[in-house]
Amino acid sequence: MIEAHVLLIGLGPHSKRIYMRSMKKLGLAPKLIVDLIEQQENVEAYLKEHGIQTNTYFVPTKERDRETLSDKVCEDLDKLIKKFQISHAVISTEPKAHYAYLQYFITRKIPTLTDKPITCPVDVANCERRASLIKKQYNNLLSLIDLHKTKVVVQCQRRYDIRYQWIKSTVTDLIKKYKVPVHNIQIYHSDGSFWMPDEMLVRENHPYKHGYGKLFHSGYHFIDLLTMMLSFEDLPPEKRPTSFDLISSHFSPQDQLFSMDEKFYETVFPNKTYSGEFEKWQTGKYKKLGELDLTTIIQGGGKEVRLNFN
Protein backbone atom coordinates (compact mmCIF):
# COMPACT_ATOMS: atom_id res chain seq x y z
CA MET A 1 0.00 0.00 0.00
CA ILE A 2 1.28 3.46 -0.96
CA GLU A 3 0.71 6.20 1.59
CA ALA A 4 -0.46 9.28 -0.28
CA HIS A 5 -3.33 11.72 -0.08
CA VAL A 6 -4.14 12.52 -3.71
CA LEU A 7 -6.14 15.47 -5.01
CA LEU A 8 -7.62 14.69 -8.46
CA ILE A 9 -8.65 17.59 -10.67
CA GLY A 10 -11.19 16.41 -13.24
CA LEU A 11 -13.15 13.15 -13.35
CA GLY A 12 -13.79 12.79 -17.07
CA PRO A 13 -13.52 9.70 -19.32
CA HIS A 14 -9.70 9.75 -19.41
CA SER A 15 -9.41 10.21 -15.66
CA LYS A 16 -11.77 7.31 -14.99
CA ARG A 17 -10.01 5.01 -17.45
CA ILE A 18 -6.44 5.84 -16.45
CA TYR A 19 -6.11 7.42 -13.01
CA MET A 20 -8.98 5.85 -11.10
CA ARG A 21 -8.00 2.37 -12.32
CA SER A 22 -4.31 2.95 -11.62
CA MET A 23 -4.93 4.25 -8.12
CA LYS A 24 -7.18 1.29 -7.38
CA LYS A 25 -4.36 -1.10 -8.35
CA LEU A 26 -2.11 0.76 -5.91
CA GLY A 27 -4.66 0.53 -3.14
CA LEU A 28 -5.47 4.24 -3.38
CA ALA A 29 -8.49 6.44 -3.89
CA PRO A 30 -8.46 10.23 -4.30
CA LYS A 31 -8.77 12.00 -1.00
CA LEU A 32 -10.38 14.92 -2.81
CA ILE A 33 -11.88 15.31 -6.30
CA VAL A 34 -12.31 18.74 -7.88
CA ASP A 35 -14.49 19.34 -10.93
CA LEU A 36 -16.79 21.96 -12.45
CA ILE A 37 -20.19 22.49 -10.86
CA GLU A 38 -22.00 21.31 -14.00
CA GLN A 39 -20.28 17.93 -13.60
CA GLN A 40 -21.48 17.44 -10.02
CA GLU A 41 -24.28 15.01 -10.91
CA ASN A 42 -21.97 12.89 -13.11
CA VAL A 43 -19.19 12.82 -10.52
CA GLU A 44 -21.48 11.85 -7.65
CA ALA A 45 -23.18 9.15 -9.77
CA TYR A 46 -19.79 7.61 -10.67
CA LEU A 47 -18.59 7.61 -7.07
CA LYS A 48 -21.83 6.01 -5.88
CA GLU A 49 -21.76 3.37 -8.64
CA HIS A 50 -18.20 2.34 -7.77
CA GLY A 51 -18.58 2.63 -4.01
CA ILE A 52 -15.83 5.23 -3.68
CA GLN A 53 -15.78 7.23 -0.47
CA THR A 54 -14.09 10.57 -1.07
CA ASN A 55 -14.53 14.32 -0.71
CA THR A 56 -15.55 16.65 -3.51
CA TYR A 57 -15.32 20.33 -4.38
CA PHE A 58 -17.09 21.86 -7.37
CA VAL A 59 -15.76 24.96 -9.09
CA PRO A 60 -18.16 27.62 -10.43
CA THR A 61 -18.63 27.64 -14.21
CA LYS A 62 -17.25 31.17 -14.50
CA GLU A 63 -13.82 29.83 -13.48
CA ARG A 64 -13.49 27.44 -16.41
CA ASP A 65 -11.58 29.71 -18.85
CA ARG A 66 -9.38 31.53 -16.35
CA GLU A 67 -5.60 31.36 -16.76
CA THR A 68 -5.16 31.79 -13.00
CA LEU A 69 -7.49 30.58 -10.27
CA SER A 70 -9.55 33.23 -8.51
CA ASP A 71 -8.74 34.23 -4.94
CA LYS A 72 -11.93 32.50 -3.76
CA VAL A 73 -11.07 29.15 -5.35
CA CYS A 74 -7.46 29.39 -4.08
CA GLU A 75 -8.69 30.07 -0.55
CA ASP A 76 -11.12 27.15 -0.71
CA LEU A 77 -8.49 24.77 -2.05
CA ASP A 78 -5.95 25.93 0.53
CA LYS A 79 -8.38 25.00 3.30
CA LEU A 80 -9.22 21.64 1.76
CA ILE A 81 -5.58 20.76 1.15
CA LYS A 82 -4.80 21.47 4.78
CA LYS A 83 -7.90 19.68 6.05
CA PHE A 84 -7.29 16.48 4.06
CA GLN A 85 -3.48 16.65 4.25
CA ILE A 86 -3.08 16.50 0.48
CA SER A 87 0.38 15.29 -0.52
CA HIS A 88 0.09 14.90 -4.32
CA ALA A 89 -2.07 16.27 -7.15
CA VAL A 90 -3.19 14.91 -10.50
CA ILE A 91 -4.50 17.29 -13.19
CA SER A 92 -6.86 15.66 -15.69
CA THR A 93 -8.93 18.61 -16.84
CA GLU A 94 -9.58 19.99 -20.29
CA PRO A 95 -6.15 21.34 -21.46
CA LYS A 96 -7.18 24.99 -21.28
CA ALA A 97 -7.37 24.67 -17.47
CA HIS A 98 -3.92 23.11 -16.98
CA TYR A 99 -2.04 26.38 -16.68
CA ALA A 100 -4.18 27.74 -13.84
CA TYR A 101 -3.93 24.56 -11.76
CA LEU A 102 -0.21 24.04 -12.45
CA GLN A 103 0.58 27.53 -11.17
CA TYR A 104 -1.48 26.88 -8.07
CA PHE A 105 0.09 23.51 -7.15
CA ILE A 106 3.65 24.57 -7.94
CA THR A 107 3.40 27.58 -5.64
CA ARG A 108 1.95 25.31 -2.92
CA LYS A 109 4.90 22.91 -3.35
CA ILE A 110 2.61 19.96 -4.09
CA PRO A 111 4.17 17.34 -6.43
CA THR A 112 1.92 17.17 -9.48
CA LEU A 113 1.21 14.82 -12.37
CA THR A 114 -0.51 16.57 -15.28
CA ASP A 115 -1.97 15.27 -18.49
CA LYS A 116 -0.51 16.41 -21.78
CA PRO A 117 -0.44 18.99 -23.27
CA ILE A 118 1.24 21.07 -20.59
CA THR A 119 -0.81 24.15 -21.48
CA CYS A 120 -3.23 25.07 -24.25
CA PRO A 121 -4.65 28.59 -24.50
CA VAL A 122 -8.18 28.98 -25.87
CA ASP A 123 -8.29 29.81 -29.61
CA VAL A 124 -4.67 28.77 -30.09
CA ALA A 125 -5.38 27.40 -33.60
CA ASN A 126 -6.70 30.73 -34.86
CA CYS A 127 -4.56 33.42 -33.27
CA GLU A 128 -0.78 33.79 -33.46
CA ARG A 129 -0.77 35.86 -30.28
CA ARG A 130 -2.60 33.09 -28.42
CA ALA A 131 -0.21 30.49 -29.84
CA SER A 132 2.79 32.46 -28.59
CA LEU A 133 1.40 32.13 -25.05
CA ILE A 134 2.38 28.44 -25.04
CA LYS A 135 6.07 29.31 -24.88
CA LYS A 136 5.45 32.14 -22.39
CA GLN A 137 3.43 29.89 -20.09
CA TYR A 138 6.00 27.10 -20.33
CA ASN A 139 8.85 29.42 -19.35
CA ASN A 140 6.80 30.85 -16.50
CA LEU A 141 6.08 27.36 -15.15
CA LEU A 142 9.78 26.48 -15.34
CA SER A 143 10.60 29.61 -13.35
CA LEU A 144 7.99 28.74 -10.72
CA ILE A 145 9.29 25.16 -10.47
CA ASP A 146 12.80 26.43 -9.97
CA LEU A 147 11.66 28.97 -7.38
CA HIS A 148 9.45 26.64 -5.36
CA LYS A 149 11.38 23.38 -5.96
CA THR A 150 8.19 21.52 -6.89
CA LYS A 151 8.22 18.33 -8.93
CA VAL A 152 5.93 18.25 -11.98
CA VAL A 153 5.58 15.22 -14.28
CA VAL A 154 3.80 15.34 -17.64
CA GLN A 155 1.74 12.25 -18.46
CA CYS A 156 2.20 11.20 -22.09
CA GLN A 157 1.81 7.45 -21.71
CA ARG A 158 2.34 6.20 -25.28
CA ARG A 159 6.09 6.78 -25.07
CA TYR A 160 6.23 3.94 -22.53
CA ASP A 161 4.81 1.39 -24.98
CA ILE A 162 7.46 -1.36 -25.24
CA ARG A 163 7.44 -1.11 -29.06
CA TYR A 164 8.28 2.59 -29.00
CA GLN A 165 10.88 1.94 -26.32
CA TRP A 166 12.53 -0.69 -28.55
CA ILE A 167 12.62 1.72 -31.51
CA LYS A 168 14.04 4.47 -29.31
CA SER A 169 16.75 2.17 -27.93
CA THR A 170 17.73 0.94 -31.40
CA VAL A 171 17.87 4.46 -32.87
CA THR A 172 19.90 5.73 -29.92
CA ASP A 173 22.44 2.92 -30.29
CA LEU A 174 22.89 3.70 -33.99
CA ILE A 175 23.27 7.44 -33.36
CA LYS A 176 25.89 6.84 -30.69
CA LYS A 177 27.78 4.36 -32.86
CA TYR A 178 27.83 6.29 -36.15
CA LYS A 179 27.45 9.90 -34.91
CA VAL A 180 24.79 10.72 -37.50
CA PRO A 181 21.29 12.11 -36.94
CA VAL A 182 17.97 10.61 -37.96
CA HIS A 183 17.36 11.78 -41.53
CA ASN A 184 13.70 10.91 -42.04
CA ILE A 185 10.76 10.13 -39.79
CA GLN A 186 7.20 9.55 -40.99
CA ILE A 187 4.43 9.49 -38.39
CA TYR A 188 0.80 8.91 -39.26
CA HIS A 189 -2.14 8.50 -36.90
CA SER A 190 -5.89 8.05 -37.22
CA ASP A 191 -8.12 7.38 -34.23
CA GLY A 192 -11.08 6.23 -36.32
CA SER A 193 -13.60 8.75 -35.04
CA PHE A 194 -16.02 10.80 -37.14
CA TRP A 195 -17.72 13.80 -35.60
CA MET A 196 -21.27 14.74 -36.53
CA PRO A 197 -22.11 18.42 -37.17
CA ASP A 198 -24.11 18.80 -33.94
CA GLU A 199 -21.26 17.42 -31.80
CA MET A 200 -18.60 19.90 -32.86
CA LEU A 201 -20.06 22.94 -31.10
CA VAL A 202 -20.98 21.27 -27.80
CA ARG A 203 -18.82 18.24 -26.98
CA GLU A 204 -16.45 18.63 -24.02
CA ASN A 205 -14.34 15.45 -24.27
CA HIS A 206 -11.58 16.05 -26.85
CA PRO A 207 -13.41 19.19 -28.00
CA TYR A 208 -12.89 21.41 -31.03
CA LYS A 209 -15.11 24.26 -29.85
CA HIS A 210 -12.36 25.93 -27.79
CA GLY A 211 -10.19 26.71 -30.81
CA TYR A 212 -7.82 23.76 -30.57
CA GLY A 213 -8.20 20.24 -31.91
CA LYS A 214 -6.39 17.13 -33.08
CA LEU A 215 -2.88 18.38 -32.36
CA PHE A 216 -3.75 18.86 -28.68
CA HIS A 217 -5.70 15.60 -28.39
CA SER A 218 -4.46 12.22 -29.62
CA GLY A 219 -2.18 13.87 -32.18
CA TYR A 220 -0.05 15.30 -29.38
CA HIS A 221 1.34 11.85 -28.65
CA PHE A 222 3.03 11.75 -32.02
CA ILE A 223 4.68 15.13 -31.63
CA ASP A 224 6.00 13.76 -28.35
CA LEU A 225 7.22 10.54 -30.02
CA LEU A 226 8.88 12.59 -32.76
CA THR A 227 10.94 14.59 -30.29
CA MET A 228 11.79 11.43 -28.37
CA MET A 229 13.04 9.60 -31.47
CA LEU A 230 15.20 12.46 -32.74
CA SER A 231 17.64 11.96 -29.84
CA PHE A 232 19.41 15.31 -30.25
CA GLU A 233 21.14 14.83 -26.90
CA ASP A 234 22.97 11.78 -28.32
CA LEU A 235 24.50 13.74 -31.21
CA PRO A 236 27.79 15.65 -31.17
CA PRO A 237 27.06 19.39 -30.81
CA GLU A 238 28.11 20.14 -34.39
CA LYS A 239 25.52 17.65 -35.73
CA ARG A 240 22.55 19.07 -33.85
CA PRO A 241 20.06 21.13 -35.92
CA THR A 242 19.87 24.80 -35.04
CA SER A 243 16.83 25.73 -37.12
CA PHE A 244 13.99 24.19 -39.07
CA ASP A 245 11.58 24.83 -41.92
CA LEU A 246 7.95 24.01 -41.27
CA ILE A 247 5.08 23.63 -43.73
CA SER A 248 1.68 22.86 -42.27
CA SER A 249 -1.94 22.65 -43.38
CA HIS A 250 -5.08 21.54 -41.59
CA PHE A 251 -8.63 20.36 -42.28
CA SER A 252 -11.23 22.02 -40.09
CA PRO A 253 -14.90 21.50 -39.16
CA GLN A 254 -15.62 24.39 -41.52
CA ASP A 255 -13.96 22.38 -44.32
CA GLN A 256 -15.82 19.18 -43.41
CA LEU A 257 -19.23 20.80 -43.66
CA PHE A 258 -18.21 22.23 -47.01
CA SER A 259 -17.04 18.91 -48.46
CA MET A 260 -19.86 16.89 -46.84
CA ASP A 261 -22.76 19.26 -47.31
CA GLU A 262 -26.33 19.09 -46.05
CA LYS A 263 -27.43 16.91 -48.98
CA PHE A 264 -24.79 14.35 -48.02
CA TYR A 265 -26.16 14.04 -44.49
CA GLU A 266 -29.75 13.88 -45.76
CA THR A 267 -28.77 10.95 -47.99
CA VAL A 268 -26.76 9.03 -45.39
CA PHE A 269 -28.96 9.86 -42.37
CA PRO A 270 -32.50 10.33 -43.77
CA ASN A 271 -34.08 10.25 -40.30
CA LYS A 272 -31.90 13.02 -38.92
CA THR A 273 -31.78 16.70 -39.88
CA TYR A 274 -28.77 18.98 -39.54
CA SER A 275 -30.34 22.07 -41.08
CA GLY A 276 -29.74 24.06 -37.88
CA GLU A 277 -26.04 23.21 -37.90
CA PHE A 278 -25.69 24.20 -41.57
CA GLU A 279 -27.40 27.50 -40.86
CA LYS A 280 -24.74 28.12 -38.21
CA TRP A 281 -22.07 27.03 -40.71
CA GLN A 282 -23.36 29.58 -43.21
CA THR A 283 -22.97 32.35 -40.63
CA GLY A 284 -19.39 31.32 -39.76
CA LYS A 285 -20.01 29.56 -36.43
CA TYR A 286 -17.63 26.74 -37.42
CA LYS A 287 -14.75 28.92 -38.64
CA LYS A 288 -12.97 29.25 -35.29
CA LEU A 289 -13.09 25.59 -34.24
CA GLY A 290 -9.95 23.52 -33.79
CA GLU A 291 -8.43 21.32 -36.49
CA LEU A 292 -9.87 17.88 -37.30
CA ASP A 293 -6.78 16.83 -39.26
CA LEU A 294 -3.24 18.12 -39.64
CA THR A 295 -0.45 17.55 -42.13
CA THR A 296 3.01 18.90 -41.33
CA ILE A 297 6.48 18.67 -42.87
CA ILE A 298 9.42 19.66 -40.67
CA GLN A 299 12.96 19.88 -42.04
CA GLY A 300 15.81 20.66 -39.70
CA GLY A 301 19.13 22.25 -40.57
CA GLY A 302 21.79 24.72 -39.61
CA LYS A 303 20.40 27.67 -41.51
CA GLU A 304 18.18 30.60 -40.63
CA VAL A 305 14.72 29.66 -39.39
CA ARG A 306 11.83 30.00 -41.84
CA LEU A 307 8.23 29.23 -40.91
CA ASN A 308 5.66 28.82 -43.66
CA PHE A 309 2.04 28.18 -42.66
CA ASN A 310 -0.56 27.19 -45.26
Map residue 144 onto helix, strand or coil. helix
pLDDT of 197: 93
Same domain, 37 and 120: yes
Answer whether residue 206 is part of any domain.
Answer: yes
Answer whether residue 161 is part of any domain.
Answer: no
Answer whether residue 172 is part of any domain.
Answer: no
Neighbours of 152 (CB within 10 A): 19
Answer whether residue 281 is part of any domain.
Answer: yes
pLDDT tens for 202-258 read 888 889 999 999 889 888 888 888 888 877 778 888 888 888 888 989 999 999 999
pLDDT of 78: 98
- The mean pLDDT value for 165-191 works out to 87
Same domain, 148 and 103: yes
Same domain, 118 and 238: no
Same domain, 88 and 16: yes
Same domain, 91 and 40: yes
Q: What is the pTM of this model?
A: 0.88
Same domain, 29 and 122: yes
- The mean pLDDT value for 132-143 works out to 97
What range does the domain containing 19 cover? Answer: 6-155
Instruction: State residue 31 phi and psi, 5-degree precision.
Output: -75, -25
Same domain, 138 and 35: yes
Answer whether residue 167 is part of any domain.
Answer: no
pLDDT of 219: 86
Answer whether residue 228 is part of any domain.
Answer: yes
Rounded CA-CA distance 157/18 in Å is 10
Same domain, 96 and 188: no
Query: What share of the chain in percent tops pLDDT 90?
Result: 65
pLDDT of 307: 41
State the chain's mean pLDDT as an integer. 90
Same domain, 288 and 202: yes
Q: Where is average pLDDT lowest: 20-34, 111-125, 185-199?
A: 185-199
Same domain, 140 and 198: no
Counting the structural domains of the chain, the total is 2
- Residue 302's pLDDT band, with cuts at 50, 70 and 90, is low
Answer whether residue 286 is part of any domain.
Answer: yes
User: Of 116, 140, 155, which residue is a domain's last?
Assistant: 155
pLDDT of 244: 82
pLDDT tens for 46-94 read 999 999 999 999 999 988 889 999 999 999 999 999 999 999 999 999 9
pLDDT tens for 266-296 read 999 999 999 999 999 999 999 999 999 989 8
Q: Are 64 and 97 in contact (CB under 8 A)?
A: yes
CATH classification at residue 101? 3.40.50.720
Answer whether residue 178 is part of any domain.
Answer: no
**What residues have CB less than 8 Å from 2, skipping those under 6 apart?**
26, 27, 28
Query: Does 1 score more than 60 pLDDT?
Result: no
